[in-house]
């Protein structure tokens, strides 16, 4: 793993690629501790400088992967964090909460399934109870499952993908916006799949394209409230979602088709979220920032 995110180095070799000779599979939702190499969330490398001092953030899917990296970075930048995650991800969420607390910030954990509208409303209520308001909402929770194409996607899977990726984002925004003051930020996680959809991820790609559209629409609506809405579109990122939802042979080559020749690490995703949450991006709203290893998002 990279020992430094800040020194000049060759980005192709900054992190190792997964072993292409050995695929990996896990039961959904997966855990980072069982991955090889284990994902880097910035534990040893991310340095904060007060960009988010005194702010409060809600992060869904905050137990591992991109969510953990963003929670760690936000905490080191001075924000308190509420983590939303599935009950099965409790162990990983505790590790993320510990990282937030080690940075001297408050960590609030709220397990449950965001496919339930009442639970989404409870997440927002808990954040307001704990922090007084919500300054940053990161809609990051997602579900994907590889399939053989449209004939292999049953209604149960389609419903799960859309409720996790789209309905929850809508419900959370609807509940949170009245509790967000001017200067707040909403950051939605879309994907390279919104622009370059893979047939085996058809339903997932559909939701990610919808997130792009939702981001632009909501940004226009909320501009006169002083709330900015943007999205980060990751390419292939080495998170537990990969061995938990892709076949072993796909995992072994994951990220090899990018111009940089490797998958990204969660630690490489955190800085764009920090930027979009901070006042440094005060004139940016309705934008999609691609973090894709060189794959185009146009």
| CA angle 69–87–194, rounded 5-degree value | 50
Report the DSSP pairing between strands 80-85 and 56-60: parallel
Cβ atoms of 77 and 279 closer than 8 Å: no
204 is catalytic: yes
Residue in 15, 143, 204, 273 annotated catalytic: 204
d(CA 103, CA 215): 30
Cβ atoms of 33 and 233 closer than 8 Å: no
CA atoms within 13 A on the CB side of 35: 26
Task: Please give the positions annotated as active site.
Answer: 204
């Amino acid at each position: 793993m990279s020992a430094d995110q800040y020194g000049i180095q060759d980005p192709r070799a900054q992190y190792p690629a997964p072993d292409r000779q050995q695929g990996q599979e896990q039961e959904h939702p997966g855990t980072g501790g069982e991955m090889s190499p284990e994902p880097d969330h910035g534990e040893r490398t991310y340095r904060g400088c007060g960009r988010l001092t005194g702010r409060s953030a809600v992060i869904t899917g905050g137990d591992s992967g991109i969510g953990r990296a963003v929670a760690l970075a936000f905490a080191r930048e001075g924000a308190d964090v509420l983590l939303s995650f599935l009950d099965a991800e409790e162990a990983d969420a505790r590790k993320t909460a510990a990282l937030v607390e080690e940075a001297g910030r408050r960590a609030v954990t709220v397990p449950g399934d965001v496919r339930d509208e009442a639970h989404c409303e409870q997440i927002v209520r808990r954040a307001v109870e704990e922090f007084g308001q919500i300054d940053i909402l990161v809609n990051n929770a997602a579900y994907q499952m590889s399939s053989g194409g449209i004939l292999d996607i049953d209604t149960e899977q389609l419903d799960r993908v859309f409720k996790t990726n789209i309905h929850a984002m809508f419900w959370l925004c609807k509940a949170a916006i009245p509790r967000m003051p001017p200067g707040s930020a909403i950051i939605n996680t879309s994907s390279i799949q919104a622009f370059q959809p893979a047939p085996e991820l058809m339903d997932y790609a559909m939701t990610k394209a919808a997130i792009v559209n939702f981001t632009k629409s909501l940004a226009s609506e909320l501009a006169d409230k002083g709330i900015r809405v943007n999205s980060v579109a990751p390419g292939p990122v080495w998170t537990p979602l990969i061995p938990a939802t892709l076949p072993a042979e796909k995992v072994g080559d994951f990220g090899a088709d990018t111009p940089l020749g490797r998958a990204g690490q969660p630690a490489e995703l955190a800085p764009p979220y920090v930027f979009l949450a901070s006042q440094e991006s005060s004139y940016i709203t309705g934008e999609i920032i691609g973090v894709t290893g060189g794959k185009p998002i146009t």
